[in-house]
Each structure stands twice: as structure tokens, then as C-alpha cells.
Copies of this chain bind each other. A is one copy, B any other.
């Protein structure tokens, strides 16, 4: 089936998603379809040769054919009748809409097959407090944390890290080493959510990323990457990071540690991420694996971590969870009518 890359969306990561889609175009062979979701959530069919960042920044997409999501696909309306676009959609809408379950709800309801997190998995990875519950369910360690609302003060000792509860990204995240920095970091974080997650900030901790998915052919796992050291990726760095297409070296790790990271990934993935290609970001503390966060739609799907990325995506597109099928036979209505003597 044809692959349809869905990108953009009403999200703070709208531009990142554009860059991510352009990167994906470079690493996947044609034919690919590109469907852009504008900030007002209208859908537009973008020709592959139009996939340049400035095309969107100049609002040139508005000259493209507008599409409508319908049962099983997308529809282009013409003077006489309509044209349908069908295939496997790749949800590449980072942040809100794509990762918070809204797009998953729309696609699942309309029975459009898609690669990406399902509803429940979206909610569990988008809300960082629920991710802690997810880790617990999976039997994977996570840093202790607390959630505060405006006016509350964190109870942890400095340094701490502050994260808006529900942005699946590093936007609004800050570190506070003292009370003065705290005030600023709280202001920033509360700009993006009315609840903020607080964790102890562990300096110089080793970070490891692993991406992958499960398909009919078994586990498709990437190399384990030790991401470039920056205490935190700011938005500009992240923007560039999402454009990556150059393949990466595996981190030099002991075999038992690699195995522990892979095992932690599989345990998390089994908690409902079937159908998605996700990246788990881990911390290693005293040789123990801690889940930092689940990225259910990694930038350009972390293509640079895979050997044979296109094959992985192809396998995943044939291994999507089957939609529930419900038989409605109107048994109760019929039986009640017959009890009333009307059948």
C-alpha cells in the first residue's frame, strides 16, 4: 500500500513536523504522498517537489488541492465527483494533535490505517505523570516526581528539572539550581500547561536512546544511541535534530547493559504501542535503566538509528493492530418487541 505522510498540525511543533517530513522524504523511496495539516487543521495535498520548508512558511500550500478525511482515506473534491487517496498514513505530527490522541482518534474512527500511537498509548506518553504509571506497569524504573499547579512550590531539593505536564517535547522544560532560577523556570513551564512535573535533575547522567517497533517478523530495534551531550536540547537544536538523516554510531556499551536497555524498551512497547515506531529515552544510573520519556512519534522517526529503516517501516505497515469489529444484531430491541407481542 502507498504510504501517506501526515505532517504539520495545530501544535507548537508544527514547524518541526515540516522539517521532519522533509527528512523522511530523503530517506524513503518514492512514491510517497504528503498530506499537510495546516495550523487551522485543514488538510492539503502537497506534491513531493513542493516539500521545502519555505513553501509552507510562504503559505504556498494554500494553492494545493484541499483534502477531506473520510471513511478509509482522504478525498479531493472536483467539479464532478471526488478522487480518493488511500494507503497507510504515517502520523508525523509531533506534539499536540499527533501525540495527544486527537489525530489517532480521527484516523481510528474513520478506519484509515496508520503508523503511530493508538489513543490510549498517546494519552499515556503525552502526559508525563501517566508515563510514570506506564513505566511502573511495565516494570521499568523511572525517576521519582511530583506534579504541581500554579502557586505550589516543589518539595524536592535543588537542582530540579521542570516540565510542562502535557507537551510531548522539550518545549517549556527548564532546570533550576536555586530559588531564583526556579521562579523563572516556573513561569516558563506554566506558560505551556497548568500542571508542571518536577523531577530531581541528575547532572552528567548517561542518556541512551533506542527506537523500534514490533512487527509480524519480530522486534525491529535500532542501534542504541548516546545522544550528543547538551544538558537540554533547546528548540533550535531540536529543530535541527529533527532534520537528521545521517546514520549514527552505536554507543560503546557492555553487552549486559545493551540487553537491559532492549528489554526495558520491549516492556514499555508492549504496554499498548503496537502499530507505532517509538523511541524510548533512558537514563543509566548506577548501571540501572530508568525510563526518561517515551517519544511515540520520534523526529523523522529516528531513521538515522536504523540499519534498513525503509524495511522496518514496510514491515510495520503490514503489522498494524486490527480495528475491533462489533456485530450489532439488534437482539435486545427484537426481544423486547417480541415480549410486547409486536414482533
A residues contacting B by CB (< 8 A) are 10-12, 14-16, 18-19, 39, 41-42, 53-54, 56-57, 68, 70-71, 96-97, 100-106, 108-111, 119-120, 123-124, 127, 130, 133, 235-236, 239, 324, 326-328, 330-334, 336-337, 342
**Interface of A (DSSP majority class):** helix
| Pick from B11, B70, B337: contact of A53, CB under 8 Å | B337
Residue of A109, A130, A331 most packed against chain B (CB within 10 A): A109
- B103 and A14 form a contact (CB under 8 A): no
Question: Does B109 lie within 8 Å of A120, measured CB to CB?
Answer: no
Q: Is the beta-carbon distance between B123 and A39 smaller than 8 angstroms?
A: no
- Indicate whether A10 sits within 8 Å of B330 (C-beta atoms), given known contacts A109-B105, A336-B53: no
A106 surroundings in chain B (CB, below 8 A): 105-106, 109-110
Interchain nearest-CB distance for A184 vs B (Å): 21
**Is B41 within 8 A of A332, CB to CB?**
no
Using CB atoms, name the residue of chain B closest to A103: B109
Using known A-B contacts A103-B105, A123-B101, A333-B53, determine if residue A14 contacts B328 with beta carbons closer than 8 Å. yes
**How far does the Cβ of A61 sit from chain B's closest Cβ, in whole Å?**
11
Decide: A57 and B14 in contact? CB cutoff 8 A: no
Would you give the shortest CB distance from A197 to chain B, in whole angstroms? 13
